[in-house]
Amino acid sequence: MSRESSTAGRTVARILLEIEAVHFRPREPFKLTSGRLSPVYIDCRRIIGYPRARAKVMDLAVGRIHDSIGYERLDVIAGGETAGIPFAAWVADRLALPMVYIRKQPKGFGRGAQIEGHWRDGDRMLLVEDLATDGGSKINFIEAIRAAGATVAHALVIFHYGIFPASTQRLADLGVTLHGLATWWDVLGEAEASGALSGRDLADVRRFLEAPEAWTTNLGSSER
């Protein structure tokens, strides 16, 4: 994965560090939703509690949509349950577009709907989520959108781990381009520059980012 940083990426990284949404714990790894162990953890949901920070992040999100997708190539903004819903709402408001939200699974009662809101057959949806690790959770939402008669060619996340090549390839195989505002490389650069991470912790995190699978394997070996 590319380690190139953009101005937007470093700005989002600084915001995430400032609001304490970034956690480093090399010797007591976090367990991610995917089951992977990680010395780093990001909580993008904290952004919703900081109005000025979230306004800046939304400015950058809309800018990315303009530069990489195009304003007039979207009909509906779709938020993934649950963390993607507020970000989708703010993006939809900025773009003056309708919004829907997608459940992880269809309701078990009533209409049994998986997508809530209004759309038309063939509408071009942008999937919005808070973050992407290996891209697996996005597939379910993409399949739901297409099953509902809409189309999806782009997904936008506030934070993309940027260390698992499969995250972009899995979506590319489905004809979907993943757009992320910031990656762990942006956060690592900002954390090192500000002194938020240094010494052994910095070295451990860098080793994980450079080779996450090997880092996890070595961790397991050291615990036996």
Residues linked to residue 182 through DSSP beta bridges, in sequence order:
159
Q: What is the pLDDT of residues 67-94, one digit of tens each?
A: 999 989 999 999 999 999 999 999 999 9
- Identify whether 1 is part of a domain: no
Query: Helices (DSSP H) in 96-165: which residue ranges?
Result: 136-147
Separation CA 185–CA 65 (nearest Å)? 21
Separation CA 91–CA 177 (nearest Å)? 18
- Identify whether 177 is part of a domain: yes
- Identify whether 135 is part of a domain: yes
**Mean pLDDT, range 152-169, rounded to an integer:** 91
> What is the tally of structural domains in the chain?
1
Q: What is the pLDDT of residues 128-157, one digit of tens each?
A: 999 998 778 899 999 999 999 999 999 999
pLDDT at 223 over 60: no
Q: What is the pLDDT of residue 221?
A: 46
CA dihedral 101, 106, 112, 117 (to 10 degrees): 10
Could you tell me the CA-to-CA distances from 92 to 47, 74, 138, 178, 199 in Å, in that order? 17, 10, 19, 18, 42
Are β-strands 151-160 and 124-132 bridged in parallel, bridged antiparallel, or unpaired? parallel
Separation CA 2–CA 164 (nearest Å)? 11
pLDDT at 197 over 90: no
- Identify whether 2 is part of a domain: no
Residue 19 sits in a domain whose CATH number is 3.40.50.2020
- pLDDT-based confidence at 218, cuts 50/70/90? confident
Answer whether 147's CB lies under 8 Å from 119's CB. no
Average pLDDT of the residues of the chain: 91
- Identify whether 101 is part of a domain: yes
Q: Write out the two tokens for 81.
A: 């349950």
Separation CA 77–CA 97 (nearest Å)? 7
Q: What is the pLDDT of residues 17-39, one digit of tens each?
A: 999 999 999 888 998 777 778 99
- pLDDT-based confidence at 222, cuts 50/70/90? low
Establish how many alpha carbons lie within 13 A of residue 96's alpha carbon, considering only the half-sphere containing its beta carbon.
2
pLDDT at 199 over 60: yes
**Mean pLDDT, range 177-205, rounded to an integer:** 93
Q: What is the pLDDT of residue 213?
A: 83
- Identify whether 190 is part of a domain: yes
Q: What percent of the chain has pLDDT over 90?
A: 72
- Identify whether 143 is part of a domain: yes
- For residue 133, give its domain range: 7-223
* Stated pTM of the model: 0.91
Q: What is the pLDDT of residue 195?
A: 92
Could you tell me the CA-to-CA distances from 117 to 85, 110, 120 in Å, in that order? 12, 15, 10
**What is the CB neighbour count within 10 angstroms for residue 220?**
10
Q: What is the pLDDT of residue 67?
A: 96
